[in-house]
Structure 1
Amino acid sequence: MKRPRILVVDDEEGMREVCSDTLEQLGDVEVVTEGDPLRAKTLLDEQSFDLMVTDIRMPGLSGVELLRHARERDPDLPVLMLTGFPSVETAVESMKLGAVDYVTKPFLPDELVANARRFLEARRLKEENELLRRQQRRGRFDELVGESEPMQRVFDVIERISGTDVDVLVRGETGTGKELVARALHQRSQRKDKRFVPVDCGAIPENLLESEFFGYERGAFTGANSRSIGLLEFADEGTLFLDELGELPILLQAKLLRTLQERKIRRLGGKQEISVDVRVVAATAQDLEKAVKEGTFRQDLYFRVDVVQIHLPPLRERGDDVRLLAQHFVERHAREMGKDVKGFTPEAMEVLLHYRWPGNVRELQNVVRRGLAMTRDDEIGVDVLPDRLVTTSGDRPRGGSRKGLGFFEQRAQRVAAFEREFLASLLRSHKGDVASAAKEAQVPRGTYYRLMKNHGLKASDFRTG
């Protein structure tokens, strides 16, 4: 991360030195001082700064004029005005031009440091949010969001087959976004102006499946008082998305196979064959090869739908896509809920990055919605995250060699080691008093207890007789 750069402009050498010495208390910053406001104007043209502190009354060019020039060059540059001769008119003009604050000389060093820290932090957060937005624009594929290599492969396959009409099998764990892939395929096809018909094969009662898929004629069975078209006919000229294909009973699989081969259906109770022009995108979280071997899924149907296969990776294998998705969901759902929430605190984001997400993207979306509902601040903090995230985010196998482990595995191990030492240190400090330790750690007591259990810690081991 680059060091923040601060430009101090004042025609009095002593004041420049005081400002420089004071601002260096911020730590890892670079302070550039300039006594000539005209040369400062040139510096603003040639270099970039993260904060400008300038006097108002200076010969050659006033601080207000320098402020106006700075805002033209960098509209987001925070500018702090200094003056020994305050006036309402100058203050109003400075604020209108975009000065972030107005400090009267002489000032308290702590006041200058506090203001500078606040403005630098605000600029850093704004730059990070803008970076995230740019990343989201680059990493978004319709409603699919991701920059990781596995997701780029998914996007590449979608693009490659977008001009074709082949049937597709989307595979991935529950909650990875298989329907979003199907919708992206539909939107990029020549059928985009026709229907997209999603069907959850596992949600339709088995005794209704055939009539739902193929429709029926009047009198086909008791209660069939009028003709009804089925889902295949309804999707004619469009895309039929068969979610959880592996849930279809074996008898219906045979009828579906015939339809996909001949592109014709016959309604229940009907004699006439009806042509259907439908593209099929199927999805499953099951191991269909295993189902074929076990005899619960037809091999010929498997080969028929598996013309092109797209594998959606689980969220735990997508690295920093978690960060992009979390911000994406915050922006979407904050608007829906009418909440002014910008994102996650750094500590909360670390928890998200280290959690394994067994429920994948759907689970992350629900965690974001919960956080937005529960938070009273403009950021979602650790205190409103579900306990299961906080207590298991660093839960990876500990001990043994790190050889062969990737970045995320090693990071998770180090986080787990830190958690255990942090919890134990506080328990030692408070002699096993969990309530006091939790208060100092700034986490709910229940969460602290769960973290202790996760790391095999007992309060009694830290109490002195």
Structure 2
Amino acid sequence: MTKYSILIVDDEENVRKLLQKIFLKENYITHIASNAEEALHIIDTFQVDVVITDIKMPGMSGIELLNKIREIDISIQVIMITAFATLETAIDALKMGAKDYITKPFNLEDILLSVKKLINSIDSTDILDSHSKNSVNNINNSLSSDSISMRKVIDIIAHVADTKSTVMIYGETGTGKELAAHSLHFLSSRKDKPFIKVNCAAIPDSLLDSELFGYDKGAFTGAVVKKPGRFELANGGSIFLDEIGDISANVQVKLLRVLQEREIEHLGGTKTIKIDVRIIAATNRNLEDLVKKQIFREDLYYRLNVVPINLPPLRERKEDILKLANSFLSKASIISGREKKQITEAALKYLINYNWPGNIRELENIIERCVVVTSKEIITQEDLPSYITNYNPTKPIEKQCESLDSVIDNAEKEVLIKALKQCNGNRTKASELLGISRRSLHRKIIKYSIED
């Protein structure tokens, strides 16, 4: 089993020792540092997966440390802790790339849960987050389309972006729902205000309420300080509620009030807080069916469904595959520091023939793997995964592969084996070739039982 590494940075010795004891008990590799300079030395010397850092420290602050970490290794996840909690510092930390924000005195269970969520995200890829790093340019490039159905979507986004209307985005996994949400925000007058993302399916029902709406001191056991919710952090900007079809009945009631009254109350609080937030929601489920089954509130459905946007799957917009593939070739080449590769017409035909159950996300992953693994300047059909070149459109996709996860795993394993063979088993060179860290390569070798 892979052991993950936690770095605790705090100028208070008792805090460092307490957290170190807790994480050692949870079987994490644990490092401690009393200041940011020590922390940077540890990061330079050891593998670190998650950093938990105080904000206010002598010398370099936690915010400055966060910036340094982002420059060194963007894959390191950072949680900010402080006794000097303000809404402004929370927003600043989240804007700069912190994954969570916890106030002192803290609840140990909250910290453990936050770390576990981040650990689960390590080594996972998210095409949409990569798009957001250069938001406007990437939005323009990625939403450019020769497909009639997609051009209709682009027109709707352009028309409603700078309004207050609530938008409901529908689409299969990997079709670009989060990118569409980014577009709505960054093409509006709110673009300089916060854009807060919440994956409703990834947060347990028992915690989603407090995550969205915040809580007051004493609201529940362990709530020793007031904490703002995601709606407060998004005030003046936009909030993206992904997987909205998975929220509980209790959260549905509270969300309905937000949409109707534009106000919230902290969990355990009595004070009404007025908010100005543009709500964008998304789901890959059929909300109408959920309404009929009385799983999803009908009144909430109509409040969310003011402007519905339906993103077509890639198999229904195959005329965009060449443009998307070229865009991903450029992007992958820049990331890997290589000259842009070309793709042969024969290889492109295989891409167009394939059914793409993973949609745009799957296409980008395939292109990136081809770029980092292929030593030639031209990508041919031999460089594509066998499940794409062997795909037979006359057979149902489910009979050609066990699942989307197995398809992606098989392709990844194939690429790893090819890279290791090309580098004569040298893992350092193979990780550089693949554009991933050596620790990521090591975990994947264990995951797929690859003998190199």
- If the length of structure 1 is used for normalisation, what is the TM-score? 0.54
CA distance in 2 between partners of 1:383 and 1:207 (Å): 49
Matching of residues 211-360 of structure 1 within 5 Å: 211-360=210-359
| Correspondence 1:19-168 to 2 at 5 A | 141=140, 143-168=142-167
Equivalent position of 1:72 in the other structure: none
Structure with greater Cα Rg: 1
Deviation at 1:342, TM superposition (A): 2.1
Cα distance per residue 1:349-390 (max 9 Å; x no partner): 111010010100000011111111220101222222111111
Cα shift at 1:151: 1.1
Distance across 1 between alignment mates of 2:236 and 2:340: 43
Segments of 5+ residues of structure 1 without an aligned counterpart are: 1-136, 399-465
Deviation at 1:319, TM superposition (A): 2.1
Identify the residue that residue 21 of structure 1 maps to in structure 2.
Answer: none
TM-score, normalised to structure 2, is: 0.56
Find out whether 1:172 has 2:171 as its counterpart.
Answer: yes
Distance 1:233 1:138, change over 3 A: closer
Percent identity between the aligned chains? 44
The answer for unaligned runs of 5 or more in structure 2 is 1-135, 397-452
Matched residue type, 1:244: E
How many Å separate the matches in 1 of 2:241 and 2:139?
Answer: 24
Q: Which amino acid aligns with 1:395?
A: P
Q: Distance between the aligned counterparts of 1:377 and 1:209, measured in 2? A: 49
1:228 match: secondary structure: coil
Distance 2:268 2:253 in 1: 18
Q: Map 1:360-375; keep pairs closer than 5 Å.
A: 360-375=359-374
Q: Give 3-state SS (helix, strand or coil) of 1:282's partner.
A: strand
**Partners of 2:355 and 2:368 in 1: CA distance:** 18
The separation in 2 between residues aligned to 1:202 and 1:185, in whole angstroms, is 22
C-alpha displacement at 1:139, in angstroms?
11
Question: Aligned pair in 2 of structure 1 residues 293, 174: CA closer, same or farther (>3 Å)?
Answer: same
Q: Secondary structure at the match of 1:229?
A: coil
CA distance in 1, matches of 2:325, 2:191: 29
Whole-angstrom CA distance in 1 between matches of 2:233 and 2:361: 29
Contact 2:139-2:179 within 8 A present in 1 as well? no
Stretches (4+) displaced over 6 A: 137-140
For 2:137 and 2:243, locate their aligned partners in 1 and report how far apart those are by CA, in whole Å. Answer: 30
Instruction: Answer whether contact 1:238 1:279 (CA < 8 A) is retained.
Output: yes
TM-fit CA distance, 1:397:
5.6
Q: Post-superposition shift, 1:141?
A: 2.7
CA shift, 1:280, in A, is: 0.4
> What residue in structure 2 maps to residue 395 of structure 1?
393
RMSD: 1.9
For 2:143 and 2:224, the matched residues in 1 are separated by 43
Cα deviation 1:5-57 (Å, max 9, x = unaligned): xxxxxxxxxxxxxxxxxxxxxxxxxxxxxxxxxxxxxxxxxxxxxxxxxxxxx
Contact 1:196 1:240 in 2 (8 A): yes
Partner SS state of residue 175, structure 1: coil
Q: Which moved more, 1:252-261 or 1:378-387?
A: 378-387
Give the AA of the match of 1:240: I
Contact 1:216 1:270 in 2 (8 A): yes
Partner SS, residue 309 of structure 1? strand
CA distance in 1, matches of 2:342, 2:239: 37
Give deviations 1:199-238, integer Å, cap 9, x for gaps. Answer: 1111111111111011011121111121100001111111
Deviations 1:104-137, CA, capped at 9 Å, x for gaps: xxxxxxxxxxxxxxxxxxxxxxxxxxxxxxxxx9
TM-aligned CA deviation for residue 192 of structure 1 = 1.3
Structure 1 residues 304 and 142, CA gap change in structure 2 (3 angstroms): farther
